[in-house]
């Protein structure tokens, strides 16, 4: 094979064989930051153009043009501030690709490792696509408030069946190479790079096969509305989904060039939307920072190989599963061996489902299950690197199991309580070394929820915090660090969300309207439906653990007590705020005849604002009280842990989007509704300054405010 050296190209090399086929690949260097992604793609197009124009070239084969370079979304967002310049740049890039695709020479794209986002967009411009078997393909930027760009939305709409195109372009989920081939996203699967190159050569040299591969999807208007309308309704608060659907819909009736121009116009529009900035700040920048944080001190000497999980219920069994998946041996203890084995059965059920979905093979499943050891005896423990207590939310019970198992910690080990609301400093009183005691609040179901709230007690050491963060990262979870206090952070503000719904109900606002507006605001489930799911009795039990209640909370407490006494405890009892058909599982809203009825209902926006604002306002209290160090931790915790609407960017992002002056004004109008609406003076002062918690992706909250 003759190597054609292009000294003018810094990041790509070309190789031409005796048949005139050119193979273009990125030059891999130790420097992972090789420049901004659009720069690389522009250079890639220049390399492609140079070779296409060479009369001796018979075809081109390329692989991942961005190499290992990650997309710099901050650079894209900043470029979008001056929309005309970015539009000009994207138009030139996309139209150049279009010209390359329409010239006569065949182009093959090989997906070696990364088949996502811009890498996949580039591959769609190839006439023939080959992926290695282990590759995952998709457009995860959908979950960051964007939609597939660089021509991907137009090309996928033309190439794929409607249902497949909609799923790929609007859901943000990865698919396997096999799934990609079944929908026509790729044409062939190869076991390795050499095999992929052989397939590429064979296709280029066979004009008959080349003719067969040039197919287009058939547009069905009726099917389009049947599939797209529910997506449009579900994501009504997501500008990126709306723009993506608009491009898909209109691209069929206009020329390809016009469709590409429409896509670019909408792509820049989404980049300029404050919602996109908010989502990227919280879901990407902050999450990456949380994952990479190693803690305040060096934790490199600490390793976790064996842990004990106390309690084999939903939480304990989930924690055991995640630990075993991370390669950790787990002693799963409960009061009886049957209950402990039931906890392992959960891991068997989840892992079986993963095998069915192709996320795990049977061999790895068996290895995972072999790491979980059910027991009802502490004698089986030995020395533990970590003990996680995950029993029922009861101080006496937690104290008892802690005292029983603390002696089994290794010298470098630490003890963690998985609690939603009980003070860590108080739970740590039973430990001879409270500095080695910390809170790890997992969220249910543990195998699907990424967040872990790491709670520092008053005596928790920095070394223990660093070890806890290392464990959380090993479990592939996202940590936020909070400080001790009643219900900490996520549970505290979530209680306020639930109680505001009950407060509105007691005012005479219909239950159906409250839950309906919660969903219109962006919550996945209405607050009254949530209360039914967790059970009203459990909510009262959590209430009982709190040090004190203000008058508005007491009113809600007494109403919940009344419902529980009447047998309306939630879904499990067949009735709560909803009535449940135990056979079909269907639910209907219950009308409480004892509640007042309003002649004039509040505006829908008012109901929505109360549900959003009450959580944001209490988050600010958490910040100034020292429960939180930074606003961004609250935004990550609220969106990932308790379902605060993602389009807001989180509880502090919401205040920025509303504007702090308007936010405070709204809260002042709600002041007569209860103590939950008392506004801290410092927030009123910030509102006078028209303060923003963020500028773009960066926080404005000063370091000296850290508690």
DSSP string across 135-185: -EEE-GGGGGT---TTTHHHHHHHHS-HHHHHHHHHH---EEHHHHHHHTS
Rounded Cα distance, 326 and 14, in Å: 41
Task: Give one DSSP letter per residue of 237-274, joined into a string.
Answer: T-HHHHHHHHHHHHHTTS-HHHHHHHHHHHHHHHHH-H
Kindly report the CATH class assigned to 2-272: alpha beta
The answer to whether 399 and 371 have CB atoms below 8 angstroms apart is: no
Q: Which residues contact 685 (CB under 8 A, 6 or more apart)?
A: none
Mean pLDDT estimate for the chain: 93
Rounded Cα distance, 179 and 173, in Å: 12
3-state SS of 483-507? ECCCCCCHHHHHHHHHHHHHHHHHH
Task: Give one DSSP letter per residue of 563-628, joined into a string.
Answer: HHHTT--BGGGTBSSEEE-TTT--EEE---TTS---SSPPPHHHHHHHHHHHHHHHHHHHHHHTS-
Query: Is the pTM higher than 0.95?
Result: no
Asked if pLDDT for residue 6 goes beyond 80, the answer is no
- Please, what is the Cα angle at 44 between 42 and 49, to 5 degrees? 95
The percent of residues above 70 in pLDDT, for the chain, comes to 96
The percent of residues above 90 in pLDDT, for the chain, comes to 84
Q: How much is the pLDDT for 582?
A: 82
Rounded Cα distance, 161 and 625, in Å: 54
Q: Which residues contact 272 (CB under 8 A, 6 or more apart)?
A: 80, 81, 83
pLDDT tens-digit map of 495-542: 999 999 999 999 999 999 999 999 999 999 999 999 999 999 988 988
- Mean pLDDT, to the nearest integer, of 248-274? 96
| Confidence grade of residue 545 (pLDDT, cut at 50, 70, 90) | confident
Asked if pLDDT for residue 442 goes beyond 80, the answer is yes
pLDDT tens-digit map of 204-221: 998 877 666 655 677 889
Domain map (residue ranges) of the chain:
2-272, 306-484, 491-564+598-705
**Site of tokens 């802690």:** 402
Rounded Cα distance, 423 and 457, in Å: 8
- Mean pLDDT, to the nearest integer, of 385-398? 94
Using CB atoms within 10 A of its CB, is residue 587 exposed (0-12), middle (13-18) or buried (19+)? Answer: middle
Q: How many CB atoms lie within 10 A of CB 478?
A: 20
Sequence-ordered alpha helix ranges (H) in 406-535: 424-427, 462-474, 490-507, 511-521, 527-534
**Site of tokens 């507006």:** 517
Q: How much is the pLDDT for 35?
A: 59
Q: How is residue 488 written in tokens?
A: 């900490």
**Site of tokens 């950790």:** 328
Mean pLDDT is lowest, of 26-30, 267-271, 329-333, 449-453, for: 26-30
| Confidence grade of residue 699 (pLDDT, cut at 50, 70, 90) | very high
- Please, what is the Cα angle at 118 between 147 and 97, to 5 degrees? 105
Q: How many CB atoms lie within 10 A of CB 345?
A: 13
Residue 245 has, within 13 A of its CA and on its CB side, a CA count of 21
* Secondary structure of residue 398 in the 3-state scheme: helix
Q: Which of 257-274 are b and which e, b meaning 16 or more Cβ less than 10 Å from the residue's Cβ?
A: eebbbbbbebbbbbbbbe
Tell me the residue ranges of DSSP E strands in 321-378.
329-333, 372-375
Provide, for the chain, the percentages of residues in helix, strand and coil under a 3-state DSSP scheme, each rounded to the nearest 5.
55, 15, 30
The answer to whether 595 and 587 have CB atoms below 8 angstroms apart is: no
Q: How much is the pLDDT for 357?
A: 84
Q: How much is the pLDDT for 33?
A: 52
Mean pLDDT is lowest, of 1-5, 74-78, 353-357, for: 1-5
Q: Which residues contact 345 (CB under 8 A, 6 or more apart)?
A: none
Q: How much is the pLDDT for 243?
A: 98
The CA distances from residue 117 to 38, 122, 245, in Å, are 13, 9, 18
- Mean pLDDT, to the nearest integer, of 421-448? 96
- Mean pLDDT, to the nearest integer, of 41-69? 92
Give the bridge partners for 59, in sequence order: 21
**Site of tokens 């964007």:** 146
- Among the listed residues 145, 290, 169, 303, the one whose alpha carbon sits nearest the alpha carbon of residue 231: 169
Alpha-carbon dihedral angle through residues 533, 539, 541, 543, given to the nearest 10 degrees: 170
CATH architecture for segment(s) 306-484:
3-Layer(aba) Sandwich (3.40)
Mean pLDDT is lowest, of 335-344, 457-466, 679-688, 697-706, for: 697-706
CATH architecture for segment(s) 491-564+598-705:
Orthogonal Bundle (1.10)
Q: How many CB atoms lie within 10 A of CB 416?
A: 29
7 vs 131, residue with greater confidence = 131
- Mean pLDDT, to the nearest integer, of 442-470? 96
Q: Is 32 left (phi over 0), alpha (psi -120 to 50) or beta?
A: alpha
The answer to whether 270 and 179 have CB atoms below 8 angstroms apart is: no
Rounded Cα distance, 249 and 254, in Å: 10
The answer to whether 136 and 152 have CB atoms below 8 angstroms apart is: no
Q: How much is the pLDDT for 705?
A: 43
Asked if pLDDT for residue 3 goes beyond 60, the answer is no
Asked if pLDDT for residue 707 goes beyond 50, the answer is no
């Amino acid at each position: 094979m003759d190597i054609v050296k292009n000294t003018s190209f810094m990041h790509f090399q070309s190789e031409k064989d005796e048949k005139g086929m050119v193979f273009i690949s990125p030059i891999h260097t130790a420097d992972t930051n090789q420049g901004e992604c659009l720069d690389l793609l522009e250079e890639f197009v220049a390399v492609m153009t140079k070779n296409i124009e060479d009369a001796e070239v018979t075809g081109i084969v390329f692989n991942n043009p961005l190499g290992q370079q990650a997309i710099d979304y901050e650079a894209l967002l900043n470029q979008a501030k001056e929309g005309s310049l970015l539009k000009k740049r994207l138009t030139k890039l996309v139209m150049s690709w279009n010209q390359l695709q329409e010239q006569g020479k065949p182009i093959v794209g090989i997906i070696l490792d990364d088949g996502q986002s811009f890498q996949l967009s580039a591959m769609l411009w190839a006439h023939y696509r080959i992926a290695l078997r282990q590759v995952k393909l998709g457009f995860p930027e959908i979950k960051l408030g964007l939609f597939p760009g660089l021509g991907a939305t137009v090309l996928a709409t033309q190439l794929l069946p409607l249902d497949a195109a909609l799923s790929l372009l609007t859901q943000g989920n990865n698919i396997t190479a096999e799934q990609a081939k079944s929908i026509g996203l790729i044409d062939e699967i190869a076991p390795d790079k050499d095999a992929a190159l052989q397939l590429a050569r064979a296709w280029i040299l066979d004009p008959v096969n080349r003719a067969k591969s040039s197919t287009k999807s058939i547009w069905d208007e009726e099917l389009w509305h049947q599939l797209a309308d529910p997506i449009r309704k579900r994501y009504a608060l997501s500008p990126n989904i709306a723009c993506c659907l608009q491009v898909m819909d209109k691209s069929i009736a206009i020329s390809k060039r016009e469709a590409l121009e429409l896509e670019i116009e909408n792509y820049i529009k989404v980049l300029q939307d404050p919602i996109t900035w908010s989502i990227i700040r919280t879901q990407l920048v902050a999450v990456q920072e949380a994952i990479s944080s190693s803690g305040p001190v060096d934790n490199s000497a600490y390793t976790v190989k064996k842990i004990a999980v106390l309690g084999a219920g939903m939480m304990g069994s989930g924690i055991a599963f995640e630990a075993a998946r991370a390669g950790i041996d787990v002693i799963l203890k409960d009061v009886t061996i049957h209950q402990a084995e039931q906890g392992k059965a959960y891991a068997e059920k989840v892992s079986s489902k993963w095998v069915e979905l192709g996320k795990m093979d049977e061999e790895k499943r068996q290895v995972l299950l072999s790491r979980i050891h059910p027991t009802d005896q502490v004698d089986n423990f030995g020395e533990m690197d970590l003990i996680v207590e995950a029993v029922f939310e009861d101080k006496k019970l937690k104290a008892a199991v802690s005292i029983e198992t603390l002696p089994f910690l290794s010298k470098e080990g630490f003890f963690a309580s998985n609690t939603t609301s009980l003070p860590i400093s108080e739970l740590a009183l039973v430990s001879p070394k409270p500095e080695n005691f910390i809170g790890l609040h997992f969220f249910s179901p543990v195998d699907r929820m990424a967040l872990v709230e790491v709670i520092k007690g008053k005596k928790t050491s920095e070394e223990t915090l660093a070890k806890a963060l290392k464990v959380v990262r090993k479990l592939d979870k996202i940590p936020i660090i909070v400080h001790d206090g009643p219900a900490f952070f996520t549970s505290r503000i979530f209680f306020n969300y639930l109680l505001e719904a009950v407060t509105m109900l007691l005012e005479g606002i219909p239950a159906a309207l409250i839950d309906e507006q919660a969903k219109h605001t962006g919550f996945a489930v209405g607050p009254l439906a949530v209360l039914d799911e967790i059970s009203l009795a459990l909510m009262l039990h959590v209430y009982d653990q709190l040090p004190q209640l203000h008058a508005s909370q007491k009113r809600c407490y007494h109403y919940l007590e009344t419902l529980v006494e009447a047998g309306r405890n939630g879904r499990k009892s067949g009735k709560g705020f909803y009535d449940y058909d135990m056979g079909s599982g269907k639910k209907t809203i219950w009308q409480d005849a004892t509640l007042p009825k309003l002649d004039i209902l509040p505006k829908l926006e008012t109901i929505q604002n109360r549900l959003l604002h009450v959580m944001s306002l209490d988050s600010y209290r958490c910040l100034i009280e020292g429960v939180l160090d930074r606003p961004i931790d609250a935004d990550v915790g609220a969106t990932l842990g308790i379902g605060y609407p993602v389009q807001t960017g989180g509880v502090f992002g919401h205040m920025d989007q509303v504007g702090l002056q308007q936010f405070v004004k709204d809260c002042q109008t709600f002041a007569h509704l209860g103590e939950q609406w008392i506004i801290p003076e410092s927030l009123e002062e910030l509102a006078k300054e028209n303060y923003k918690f963020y500028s773009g992706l960066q926080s404005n909250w000063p370091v000296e405010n850290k508690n």
